[in-house]
Amino acid sequence: MTTGVSARLVARTRRVDAPHDVRDALAQLGTDGFAWIDGDRAIITSGTAVRVPAALASEALRAIDTPDTDTDTDSGAASSPTGTGPIACGALTFDNTRDAPLAIPARVLRIDGDRATLTEIEGARASAPPPWSHVPRRFVVEALQDLAAWDSAVAAALARIDDGALSKVVLAREVLVEADTALSPVDVLARLHTTQAGCFVFAASRDTQQWFVGASPELLVRRCGDLVESRPMAGTVARGATEAADALAIETLDTSPKQRAEHQLVVDAVIDALTHHCDAVVADAPEAVRLTALTHLATRIRGVVRDGSSALDIALALHPTPAVGGTPATAARDAITELEAFDRGCYAAPVGWVDAHGDGEFAVALRCAELDGPRARLLAGAGIVAGSDPDDEWAETQTKLEPMLRALVRP
């Protein structure tokens, strides 16, 4: 595995039969692979041709030769049009001062409904599927921060908000799960796909045992041709147990000044960042998006890229939004460092893929876990603004932890 492109790479793309279902597709995932599932669209990779710093990913992709191949047997189209060909993929880190590497996979299976293509880089080997362990039967779940520690951190954040140093800061907490045998990333991905409709389900390998997996509802950026889209989320309530309770929860979300103000902070920041790269930036009205356990306020924001920025370039410019960091950004980052006292790793960072055309998709890595053999580290956060109640924010993190806990802990 290298950290730069030392020799000219050649990638060829061809049509293949689409897998029958998600389990069939995930059978193509390598031990050093990447998975991205959005409804009936998916990207599953295996093997690593080269690993490059994120800042060099676009240059490395453009340097790959993509001779004509049979990607469209009906029209005879050339290889590697938008939507096919080699990609750079992976999860970055929340700390955007680090230059996290991305992988250019040896083998990329791309699925779009009943259509599938396979891109392979000549001379680069695919890797074997992750080992399938015995199904765990015993679990230990441990919250690393207790309620008293959480209350103290929230109180310190609110003091900074009262002093005018902050408008918002997102505080996260950790939960550890330990099983009696190694946790299977394929099994976790399949469960998340089944239970977390409306989310981007993802996995990025670190080595044969270490994986970063999750199911995020939040689109950081999508670029397709010149069109750019983001859908930030901020403002959250738990789903109601009945239709009537659910409707009341949504009404509370829609009419809450606190929730609306928190959401608008994020929308304004995303619009500001996009205007540095895009023309005709417009935002729809906020809408309530209902997921399995939570309802979020979300706003769809669109623009037309004017400076050739790739999806990765724009993701790096947007991160971290106030939805996962806070505002002002520097003061929020300082508060997170001081009040959380642990490394977020890839939590709340961009995760996704980009191709040689600059097209791609990145989500905010939420509802996620770091898997390391039989152990998993889960993180979840809540936005602290003026008027936040520590107990309510703790309950919000509990609800955000539930999707991953359900995918992991199945006695």
**Which residues carry out catalysis?**
168, 218
- Nearest alpha-carbon partner for 378 in 141, 176, 195: 176
Instruction: Give the residues across from 305 on adjacent strands.
Output: 278
Determine the 3-state secondary structure of 191 from DSSP. Answer: helix
- Nearest alpha-carbon partner for 303 in 324, 290, 317: 317
Taking the alpha carbons of 58, 61, 65, 69 in that order, is the dihedral positive or negative?
negative
Residues 6+ positions from 32 with CB-CB distance below 8 Å: 46, 47, 48, 103, 127, 205, 207, 208
- Distance, in Å, from the CA atom of 267 to the CA atom of 283, rounded to the nearest integer, reads 8
Task: Quickly list H helices, 147-218.
Answer: 147-162, 185-195
Instruction: Note the residue count of the chain.
Output: 411
- DSSP designation for 98: S
Taking the alpha carbons of 398, 405, 42, 373 in that order, is the dihedral positive or negative?
positive
Angle at 217 between CA 369 and CA 53, to 5 degrees: 60
Assigned token pair, 125: 């080997």
For 227-332, strand residue ranges (E) read: 227-231, 233-238, 278-283, 287-290, 294-298, 301-305, 326-327
Assigned token pair, 37: 């599932």
- Nearest alpha-carbon partner for 49 in 13, 10, 100, 83: 10
Angle between helices 185-195 and 390-408 (to 10 degrees): 120
b/e map of 24-43 (b: 16 or more CB within 10 Å)? ebbebbbbbbbbbbbeeebb
